[in-house]
Structure 1
Amino acid sequence: MKKFAALFLSAALVTACVACGNDAGSGESGSSGTEESSSESSEESSEASGAESEESSEASSAESEESGEASDAGSEAGGEASGEVMTYADYVAAPMDSEVVVETYVQAKQSWWEDKATLYTQDKDGAYFVYNAACTEDDYAKLTPGTKIKVTGFKGEWSGEVEIMDATFEIVEGGDSFVAEPEDVTALLGTDELIDHQNKFVSFKGMTVEPAGEGSEDAFLYNWDGSGAEGDDLYFNVSLDGQTYTFTVESYLCDSTTDVYAAVKNLKVGDKIDMEGFLYWYEGVNPHITSVTAAE
């Protein structure tokens, strides 16, 4: 009985050991499965993360390309905008030495020489003096008063005169015509507002002829210092309200065969006269006169 019991106990002990062994094996197997599962999960997570990263990179690259294309498009649009026609207000606001583009109307031609033309031009808002624009002799002949032209050049200044330099122009085919009426600026002489009308076709009323030089009875000079001769510019002085101003007959604009040239040569000190011309500037107001008549 004891032997049987011992055998029974031994058998039970062996059975228990086997059971324990199976439990231990089962535990190791579970741990291995967990590790494999964890490894697979990690790999899947890594792959997902990589995919997301790749997608994010591709999206970022696409956005960058779109942004670049938009930037290029903006640059192209900006380049086109730089050639747009300006209003007179835009022209006035433009800095010196900047490129300007205006549409304006020929009022008078000063000169043509070696494929360069100098023009007095104006629109309904203001005036533009175009200096030495590239121009063939044939095109110069087409520039009659009122002709509409598109001018591209650079805004510059010389001794107070604001002008368009280094310019090219084209005649606007089928464009309308405009010839300015003279604007009376007599009351603006001696004021800061006068320069706002620079280069316009203007008139002066009831001014008095003064001596051309101190102690002289002559009413005009050939050239500013009297050094010229027939055919050169004429300089003469006129006054209003005690202030004296020097006006000019520009011989390239109005040569010795014109009525205004003859009229100035016939002036006498003390004459009262009315005048028309272009409000040119040289170290102060120095109009280029195109008409002189006795004051009304």
Structure 2
Amino acid sequence: MKKKTIATLLAFGLAFSMIGCGAKTETAEPAAEAVEETAEESAETAEETADAAEEDTTAEETADAAEEDTTAEETADAAEEDATAEETDEETENADTEDAADAATGEVMSHDDYIAADVDSEVTIETYVQAMQGWWENEGVGNATFYTQDEDGAYFLYNMPCSKEEYDKLTKGTKIKVTGYKSEWEGEVEITDAKFEIEDGSFEAEPLDVTALLADDSLIDHQNEYVSFKDMVVEPSKDADGNEVAFLYNYDGSGSQGDDLYFNVSADGKTYTFTVESYLCDKDSDVYKAVEALNVGDTVDMEGFLYWYQGVNPHITSVTVK
């Protein structure tokens, strides 16, 4: 607007100058009007130019502001990414801490100390996997049962939490450190609610012949060990219809192929019930098929684990007919 005012004054000045130089009044007035119109047009053009410049400045400022917003947004995104990365690192660190907390802890006991420990007390042992009794998930948590042993005795790890990847690593002979609770069920002493970690070392037990100890109270000292039985005779069992048979599907004959196998064998005039645990040795295993092929009166050698259920109830893994 300042540019327009100056242009107008200049126009009027020019007009008065023309009058002062001797021009006629009637000629000077149109000329002055023309000059004034020209000045006004120039002023308007100048104003439009100024407005356009002002609009350019505003547009530039808007562009700058947009650029600043973009920069601010990028900065915010970068900050958010940094925060996410920091949270991820923290979660990883926490997971590592939790894994460490879940590992077996406590002072390692000897087998004698384990035997002497009270039921329901926390125990920590080092042992070696001898056999695995299946793997399954319970409410999203992997579990498996293990027959384990060291040079001094055996330990039965019942439903020990482990992932499928961990389970696949726990092959025969693998050394593990285990912390859990000593428990008892129907005479079977086991470790429950266990945590474990794999250690260096390997051991595979040789079967101990306990045939002569079957009627002896000391047999329980070998509970859960890998053992063998020699020259035992297959005795009849009665199925659900009262027929004498060499074996049963389930303890009462109510099952079918794929269920646990139960069969009676004797030594020194006493009869015992042995089992092929289907989770340990399924229907496609050699021992399962061997028991299905037994006849009453057969003499057999066997190997397995000295499991206990209201008395000795070995889980057999091998049967050889003599």
TM-score by length of 2: 0.65
Give distance in 2, aligned partners of 1:145 and 1:163.
Answer: 19
Question: Which residues of 2 match residues 175-186 of structure 1 at below 5 A?
Answer: 175-186=200-211
Deviation at 1:117, TM superposition (A): 1.2
* 2:287 aligns with one of 260, 270, 287: 260
User: Which one has a bigger Cα radius of gyration?
Assistant: 2
- Equivalent of 1:221 in 241, 248, 271: 248
- Does residue 281 of structure 1 match 2:308? yes
Q: Counterpart in 2 of 1:245?
A: 272
Q: Which amino acid aligns with 1:145?
A: K
The answer for the alignment partner of 2:33 in structure 1 is none
Residue type of the alignment partner of 2:220? I
Alpha-carbon separation, structure 2, partners of 1:133 and 1:170: 12
Alignment partner, residue 125 of structure 1: 152
| Partner SS for 2:202 | coil
Alignment partners' CA distance in 1, 2:254 and 2:115: 37
Is 1:95 the counterpart of 2:122? The answer is no
Residue 85 (str. 1) matches residue 112 (str. 2): no
Paired position in structure 2 for 1:188: 213
In the alignment, the residues of structure 1 paired with residue 282 and residue 233 of structure 2 have an alpha-carbon distance, to the nearest angstrom, of 24
Q: 1:134 is matched with which residue: 144, 161, 164? A: 161
Structure 2, gaps ≥5 residues long: 1-104
> Which residue in the other structure is 1:209 paired with?
234
Q: Distance in 2 between matches of 1:231 and 1:221?
A: 11
**In structure 2, distance between residues paired with 1:242 and 1:150:** 42
Paired residues, number: 212
Q: What is the CA–CA distance in structure 1 between the aligned matches of 2:321 and 2:143, rounded to whole Å?
A: 36
* Deviation, structure 1 residue 213: 2.1
Q: Is 2:192 aligned against 1:165?
A: yes
Alignment partner of 1:231 out of 258, 267, 272: 258
Match of 2:318 among 281, 291, 294: 291
Query: What do the CA deviations read for 1:102-150 (whole angstroms, capped 9, x no partner)?
Result: 0000000002111111000000000000001110010000111000001
Which residues in structure 2 correspond to 1:18-97 (within 5 Å)? 83-97=106-120
TM-score scaled by length of structure 1: 0.70
Q: Percentage identity across aligned positions?
A: 70
Deviation for aligned residue 1:217: 2.8
Alpha-carbon distance in structure 2 between the residues aligned to 1:230 and 1:294: 21
Q: SS state of the match for residue 255, structure 1?
A: coil
CA deviation after TM superposition for structure 1 residue 242, in Å: 1.1
Q: Secondary structure at the match of 1:139?
A: helix
| CA root-mean-square deviation | 1.1
1:176 is paired with a residue whose SS is: strand
Deviations 1:44-85 (A, max 9, x none): xxxxxxxxxxxxxxxxxxxxxxxxxxxxxxxxxxxxxx8101
- Structure 1 residue 246 displacement after superposition: 0.1
Letter paired with 1:184: D
Task: Tell me what 1:79 maps to.
Answer: none
State the partner residue of 1:145.
172
Q: How far, CA to CA, are the matches of 1:189 and 1:83 in structure 2? A: 35
Unaligned runs of 5+ in 1: 1-81
How big is the shift at 1:216? 3.2
Letter in 2 for 1:110: Q
